Amino acid sequence: MAAIKTAIRFLRASWVNHMAELPFPFPGNRISGHGRNG
């Protein structure tokens, strides 16, 4: 089921990118290496 894994990976990347844009200490900031937490 490679399609499902790809979809999950895409959604996860989208979530991380979205969180990194917010000025709050969400986990996404740490995962992406961007944001206030670096």
- Of residues 2 and 17, more confidence is placed in 2
pLDDT confidence band for 14 (50 / 70 / 90) = confident
User: In which band, very low, low, confident or very high, does the pLDDT at 16 lie, cut at 50, 70 and 90?
Assistant: low
Distance of alpha carbon 25 from alpha carbon 14, whole angstroms: 17
CA angle 21, 11, 22 (to 5 degrees): 10
CB atoms within 10 A of CB 32: 19
Query: How many CA atoms lie within 13 Å of 28's alpha carbon, on the beta-carbon side?
Result: 16
Residue 38's pLDDT band (cuts 50, 70, 90): very low
pLDDT of residue 37: 46
The CA–CA distances, whole Å, from 3 to 6, 7, 11, 20 equal 5, 6, 12, 26
